[in-house]
Structure 1
Amino acid sequence: MPQPWSRKQMYRTYLEEYSERWSEYFTFKREDGILEMRMHTEHDSAKWSLELHRAFIPALADVGHDPENEILIFSGTGEKFLDSMDPEGWERYGFREPMTFDKGYDFWYFDQVHEPFSLLNLEIPVIGAINGPFFIHQELALLNDIVIASESTTMADGHYTGMGIVPGDGVQTVFRELMGTNRAKYFLLTGQTMQAKELLDMGLIGEVVPDDQLLDRAWEIARTVFKPRARSTRAMTRALLVQPWRELLTRELPTGMAHECWGVHGYWGMAEEGYDIANLKKAED
C-alpha cells in the first residue's frame, strides 16, 4: 500500500521516479541541474493525443517539485516538434462520433485551462527548442523564456483551416501578443505556414540554428545565460517575465475554450467519413 507522506518531511519529487512514470510521453536527461525534457510518441516525433495533452499537467508538476531541477530545456524528438495527430488516441475516446458536451468539457476544457499554466507555474527558467514543424499547441514552445528553432522548423495553426474549429485554446492570445492583432488574425484565418526565418524576423523566436546543433545550443544557453546566475535571481526573473502571460491567460483562456468547445457542436470534422485525423484534412482535400 502507498505510505502516507511524513508530516516531518518536505514534499518533493525524484527524477528516477517521474522519468519512469512518464516514459511513454517524455524522455528526460539531467546534468548539473539542467533538465532536458523531450516529448515523443514511441520514441519518435510526438503525435498530439488526448493522453499527451493531459500528461503535461502532472508531468510538469513533478518537474517543478524536484529541487534538483534548476533549468529546463523543453523540446521534441526526431525531425518534428508537433506536426501530426494520433488517430488511434482520438478514436479511443469516441471522437470519430458527433461532438457531445462531455467530450468538449471533460477533455478539452478540463485540460486546456490548466495545461499552459502547468508550464508557466514552473519557477525555473525554461528554454524552448523547436526541433521541426509544428501546427498545434504553440504555447508549449512560445511561452518559454528563451525560444530557439531549427532551420527545418515551420509553424502553422491547425484549428480554423484544418479542423474547422474555433482557435480559442490560447493561440488567440499568444499570437495576438507576439504578432500584433491584424497579423495574428491573418495567420489564424488563412492557415499560413511560416518558415523559421520568418518566425525570427517577427520576433517569435530568438535564434535559428542548424538542425543537428539545436539541443547543443539549448544546453549552451542553459549553461551561459542561466546557470551563472544565483538561484533566487533565476527564479525571480522568471516570475517577473512570465507574469504578463499569466494575467492574460487567466483572463482570456477560459472564455476562448468555452467558445471552442461550443463551436464544435455546429461542425466536427472527425465525425465525417474519410476525415484524415493525423493531418486534419477533410476527405475531399
Structure 2
Amino acid sequence: MPAPKPWSRKTMYRTFLEEYQEKWSEYFTFKREDGILEMRMHTEHDSAKWSLELHRAFIPALADVGHDPDNEILIFSGTGAKFLDSMDPEGWERYGFREPMTFDKGYDFWYKDQVHEPFAFLNLEIPVIAAINGPFFIHQELALLNDIVIASESTTMADGHYTGMGIVPGDGVQTVFRELMGINRAKHFLLTGQEMSAKELLDLGLIGEVVPDSELLDRAWEIARTIFKPRARSTRVMARALFVQPWRELLVRELPSGMANECWGTHGYWGMAEENYDIENLKGDSK
C-alpha cells in the first residue's frame, strides 16, 4: 500500500462524498442532491442492529460529513422497517462482552465513545432532519437532538437500558428525556420500559410529525427543500447554532457523570454474562 500523501499546508482541509461513502459503506448509505445529504444507517443493507462498531463509527463518519462543504443539509434515517430495534450479538461476543464486565470494557468501548458520540451530531454546522422509520429502543439522542424530527406511523419508542440490559440509563437519555418529557414522565419511561407509539410521541412533543411509512423519506426531503434550502446559508447555520447550544451545555455537564454511573453499575449486574441471555433482544432468564 502506498504511503498517504501529506495534506498541503496551502490547501484548506475538506472531505469528499465519493471517498467517505465508500469508507463507511458497511455502516451507512449516502446519497446527495442539491446539497442535501441523505445518510441511512444499516446492517448488511437491512435494518440497523446496534453494535460496538456502529457506535464508534458515528464519530468519524459524521466528522467526514461535517468537513464536506458540499453538504448543506443532512437527512438522517435508518433502513428497512426498523430504525434501531435490536443488538448485533456477534459484535458484542467479538469483544468479550459475554464475559463479566471489566473496567477496560466499560471505558474503552462505552465511556470513551459515548462522551463524544452525541457531539458528533451537535458539532455539525448544518441543519439535521431525523426521520425515524420504525421501532427504536436505544440511543434516542441519535434522532431527538436534531433540528426537525419526524417519524413513520409504525414508529414505537422504548428504552432498553434498565428493564432490558438491567443497567443504568446514563448515556445521555436521562438528560434528553427529562428535557423533552419532564422529569417524572422521563423517570417512569426509563424505569418501567414503557413503549410509546408515534402518536404518543407526537402528543408529548418528542417529534414534530407522524407520516405514513411509505412517505417518510419523501417528507424529509420536502422539509429539506422547502424549510431549509430557501434560507440563506448564514441563516441556516446560525439557527442551527442557536438551537443546539442548550443541548451542548447540558451534555457537557451531565454526560460524563451519567456514563460513569452506567459503567460502574454494570459491575454489579451484567446480563450478557448469563448463559442464556438473548443479546439481540435484551432478554435473560432473570427478566
TM range (shorter): over 0.9
Alignment of 1:1-285 (within 5 A): 1-283=3-285, 285=287
Q: For residues 42 and 274 of structure 1, what CA distance do their matches in structure 2 show?
A: 26
- TM-score, length of structure 1 as denominator length: 1.00
Q: For residues 241 and 167 of structure 1, what CA distance do their matches in structure 2 show?
A: 25
Question: 1:284: how far off?
Answer: 5.3
Residues 284 and 258 (structure 1 numbering): CA distance in 2 closer, same or farther, change over 3 Å?
A: closer
Question: 1:210: how far off?
Answer: 0.1
Question: Match of 1:28, SS?
Answer: strand
Q: For residues 47 and 233 of structure 1, what CA distance do their matches in structure 2 show?
A: 36
Q: For residues 220 and 169 of structure 2, what CA distance do their matches in structure 1 show?
A: 30
Question: 1:283: how far off?
Answer: 2.9
Q: For residues 91 and 282 of structure 1, what CA distance do their matches in structure 2 show?
A: 16
Alignment identity in percent?
88
Q: Give CA deviations for 1:198-239 in whole Å, capped at 9, x if unaligned.
A: 000000000000000000000000000000001111000000
Residues 168 and 284 (structure 1 numbering): CA distance in 2 closer, same or farther, change over 3 Å?
A: closer
Q: Any unmatched runs of 5+ in structure 2?
A: none
Q: Give CA deviations for 1:51-78 in whole Å, capped at 9, x if unaligned.
A: 0000000000000000000000000000
Q: For residues 65 and 112 of structure 1, what CA distance do their matches in structure 2 show?
A: 21
Structure 1 stretches of 4+ moved >6 Å = none
Q: For residues 134 and 147 of structure 1, what CA distance do their matches in structure 2 show?
A: 13
Kindly tell me the number of residue pairs found equivalent between the two proteins: 285
What is the one-letter code of the residue matched to 1:185? K
Q: For residues 243 and 54 of structure 2, what CA distance do their matches in structure 1 show?
A: 27
CA RMSD of aligned residues (A): 0.5
Q: Any unmatched runs of 5+ in structure 1?
A: none
